[in-house]
Amino acid sequence: MIPHTISIDHPIASIANSIIYLAQSPTVKEFDLISFANQLLNGLGIVGILLLTGLGLAITFGVMRIINLAHGEFIMLGAYTTFVLQSTFKMDLLLTIPFSFLFTAIVGAIVELTIIRRLYGRPLETLLATWGLSIVLQGVVKLIFTAQLKYVKAPPYIRGNWTLFEAGGQAVQISIYRLFIILMALLLLALTAYLLYGTPLGREVRAVTQNRDMAKCLGVNTSLVDMATFAYGCGLAGVAGTVISSLKSVAPPMGQDYLVDAWMTVVTGGVDRLIGVLAGAFLIGQSNAALAYLLNDPTARVIVLAAVIVLIRYRPEGLFTVQKRG
């Protein structure tokens, strides 16, 4: 039986047709409250991953208005930094976090100084340049490490599951490592908010964002602010790479797996406020988890992506925006 579709010549109708087809294809599973609770708890882990990967992008795009298509490669560089330190020096994953941040921040500063600085105010050229940079970074990593998959081990004290309660012979559990991801993401969010709103450098960053020429007239070193901000965003991406490196194998194209989700997170919440990144991560992560349980994972991803497209169409500024003074 062919599923009923909407016969309207409109892009949103095409999306709706796809959703209806996917939703009608699978057999809906029997609802189980314990399993659904476990799925939502796993969704919190997805929220943490989205927040980690989207936070650096919120800085480079939301604050600096730079379309950085190489963001995923900075995530990849952070993961490889952890792999090298762990395989060479047997270093604990948590201890590699500062080194991943420092290395990717330095690479980001070099990129800003040599490439991005010449492209401010030229979004198309910036997009093409960062896309080319992503290809170059992947190629360099392949030359050094080959395309063979690498693996990072999580320390034993953050492995296993934490049982919240049991009912009817079933347990509601959450992975300790996913809890660690959530806590790390919230910590970095709080640190970033403090740096932006509670430090002199943060005030300079916001001044440059709002009115670059006026900030320069007031003595702000805009070039230094640009480099520091871009480097910090890249450093956050490196930390994200370290934290998620033990969830999957480490490989040159791994960053591309997170790039689309990171962009969805940022544009859903809004590019002007950090709280928007948290809101976007929560909405996308939990929606994916709930729909994946009720339908299936591919259908859930299509529905969430379609919802984000519709949101961008009717509210391109995102859910949370700063009111501009006229």
Q: Divide the 326 residues of the chain into consecutive groups of 10 and give the mean pLDDT of each group.
A: 44 55 56 89 94 94 90 98 97 97 98 95 94 98 96 95 84 93 97 95 91 92 95 98 95 94 92 88 95 93 94 87 53
Q: Is residue 320 part of a domain?
A: no
DSSP string for 189-221: HHHHHHHHHSSHHHHHHHHHHH-HHHHHHTT--
Q: Distances from the Cα of 208 to the Cαs of 63, 204, 301, in angstroms?
A: 9, 6, 37
pLDDT score, position 6: 42
**Angle at CA of residue 189, ends 272 and 124, nearest 5°:** 40
Token match 């940079």: residue?
A: 133
Give the total number of structural domains in the chain: 1
- Whole-model pTM? 0.89
The HSE-up count of residue 111 (CA atoms within 13 Å, CB side) is 30
Q: Is residue 61 part of a domain?
A: yes
Element spanning 172, H or E? strand 170-175
Q: Is residue 318 part of a domain?
A: no
Q: Is residue 7 part of a domain?
A: no
* Domain range for 189: 33-251
- Whether residue 160 contacts residue 173, with contact meaning beta carbons closer than 8 Å, is answered with no
In the structure encoding, which two tokens stand for residue 219, read together?
A: 């003595």
Q: Is residue 309 part of a domain?
A: no
Q: Is residue 280 part of a domain?
A: no
Q: Is residue 5 part of a domain?
A: no
Among 314, 304, 321, 247, which Cα is nearest to 22's?
A: 304
Backbone angles phi, psi at 108, to 5 degrees: -65, -40
- Whether residue 185 contacts residue 48, with contact meaning beta carbons closer than 8 Å, is answered with yes
Q: Is residue 307 part of a domain?
A: no
